[in-house]
Amino acid sequence: MLPAETDVGFEQRLAAAIARRVSEPRFNLWFRDHTKFIHLGDAVVVGVPNLYFHDWLQKTFGADVRAAAAEVLGEAVTVRFAIDPELFQAARQQQQDVKGDDGGSPADDKPAGTPPGQKPKKKVEGTKSAPGARPQAAPAPRTPNRRRWRSLGEFVIGPCNRVAHASAQSVVEEPGQGANPLVLYGPTGTGKTHLLEGIYAGLRKRHPDQKVLYASAEDFMNRFLGSMHHGKQSAFRKQFRECFALLVDDLSFLAGKKATQIEFLHTFDALVAEGCQVVVTCDCHPRLTEDLMPELADRLLGGAVWGVLPPDPDTRLDLLQAKAAAPGPIIPADVLQFLASHLRGNVRELEGAIHSLRHFGRVTGQPVTKDLAREALGELLRHAVRVVRVADVDAAVCAALKLSGGSLRSKSKAWAVSHARMLAIYLSRKHTSATYGEISIYFGNKTHSTSVAAEKRVRAWLQRNDLVKAGDRAWKARDLVERVERELQK
């Protein structure tokens, strides 16, 4: 029998344990607001709103939930999934409240309480409910929040993103006529999603009668798996292949998911063959994305691939000025200049700094000054100045090339190690304050001339963009350096 009340503390602990295992985004998508956890002594019951959640969660996350329950309770327990009347009624009520969508984004056209890619089952009332739970009145109707799509006009342009922004603008002006696909890549928080949203908003405005689809790669995968589960692949393909433009965020999510990659590849081919625009974002260059099918990477390289880099000092200042222009306490120009010169983070970090500074000023009742900024953002400013050591470069090269720790300090002269060692010496000169002599000592060389020769050789590789053998494969020199530097930034 399910008790009428649940242990809130147990629910929170179990939720946190599950999130650690399945990742926070997947927990938010599948568990948060869709489940409740009830401890019955010798068992744990996971309440769900409908049959689809019952089958999907049990099949996909059952082992993770059992492991999390054992961690929280200190012993293995039976885990059962059951349809909970309260969750069912709440989901049903939200489905009735939400009418229509905003005009074509697959991420926005599902009723609240329904997982991506699925319609709610119509005959759930006849299924078995969790015993003993008290039915309650449905919650009061809520007005659904509409997603605000950012525009390209709001995007702060600088040397780090100018070409990517221009390419996004050209897609809006002439979709399908220029680079197709358009691939935007770069580390998190640099504005890739903003550009993708700007393209979506621009295309919707210029072509209101056309079907423009915007979805995250995870949403695409969930809808695809849902269509397979219910035998509705034709409906899924009609949705994604009969559109004017398809915009997919965070394609790197599909790395290692071969079945979904194959489906996306066929979708991609069908759209491009019809002259429809495809735009995707990913966290690194398609050639460097691990576990991405060679066929898919090849298709992505057939269009335009542009990087979106972390903001440089001038762009950081422009971003801070744009964020500071929003309503709130005035932040003087000298404070913005101070932040731009001391912070090294991405756009979200800069925006967070502005919010934190204004909030601290309101709480303390003090005007915003550089001294106040130092006090309010002390931790952030301290962590912004990261000192890179030769050992950090060593670790980054080994991680990027899948070499065992200590390989670069060995006497091995095999190209897999020796070329990687030369690269580490070059990057140590570039990113650290170490001298040639110090670098030579670290990597076991007798004189500094070895480090000088290694740096010159890597510079020659980069100038010609040679094919370099390092680790377990051959790389284009510039791609290799970019990969290691991305690892160094983690």
Q: DSSP readout, 42-101?
A: SEEEEEESSHHHHHHHHHHHHHHHHHHHHHHHSS--EEEEEE-HHHHHHHHHHHHH----
pLDDT of residue 70: 86
What's domain 160-307's architecture? Answer: 3-Layer(aba) Sandwich (3.40)
Looking at the chain, the domain(s) classified CATH 3.30.300.180 span 8-99
Query: Phi/psi of residue 304, each to 5°?
Result: -115, 130
Question: Does residue 390 contact residue 428 with C-beta atoms inside 8 Å?
Answer: yes
Exposed, middle or buried by CB within 10 Å (0-12, 13-18, 19+), for 50?
A: buried
Looking at the chain, the domain(s) classified CATH 1.10.1750.10 span 390-488
For residue 107, the SS3 value is coil
Q: Which fold has domain 390-488?
A: Chromosomal Replication Initiator Protein Dnaa; Chain: A; (1.10.1750)
Please work out, in degrees rounded to the nearest 5, the angle formed at the alpha carbon of residue 373 by the alpha carbons of 367 and 377.
Answer: 135
The tens-digit pLDDT sequence of the chain (490 residues) is 334 334 567 888 899 889 888 888 788 888 888 898 888 877 889 998 888 788 888 888 888 899 888 888 888 888 988 888 888 877 777 656 543 444 444 444 443 444 444 444 443 434 444 444 444 444 544 544 567 888 888 888 988 889 999 999 999 998 988 888 999 988 888 889 999 999 999 999 999 889 999 999 999 999 999 998 888 889 999 999 989 999 999 998 998 899 999 999 999 999 999 999 999 999 888 877 778 888 998 999 988 999 888 888 888 888 888 888 877 778 888 888 888 887 777 788 888 888 888 888 788 888 888 888 888 777 666 655 556 788 889 998 998 888 888 888 888 888 888 999 999 999 988 888 777 788 888 888 767 788 888 888 999 999 888 898 888 888 898 888 888 888 877 6
pLDDT of residue 386: 58
Torsion of CA 427, 429, 433, 438, to 10 degrees: 110
Q: At what angle do helices 477-488 and 449-464 cross, to 10 degrees?
A: 120
Alpha helical stretches, state H, 343-490: 347-364, 370-376, 378-384, 390-401, 415-431, 436-442, 449-464, 477-488
How would you classify the pairing of strands 43-48 and 78-83?
A: parallel
Model confidence, pTM? 0.56
d(CA 132, CA 129): 9
d(CA 195, CA 215): 14
For residue 187, the SS3 value is coil
Looking at the chain, the domain(s) classified CATH 1.10.8.60 span 313-384
Q: Which two three-digit tokens encode residue 352?
A: 């967070």
CATH code of domain 8-99: 3.30.300.180
Give how far the C-alpha of residue 323 lies from the chain's centroid of Cα atoms, to the nearest Å: 22
Q: Which fold has domain 313-384?
A: Helicase, Ruva Protein; domain 3 (1.10.8)
H or E element, residue 17? helix 8-22
Alpha helical stretches, state H, 174-303: 192-206, 217-229, 233-241, 258-273, 294-300
Looking at the chain, the domain(s) classified CATH 3.40.50.300 span 160-307
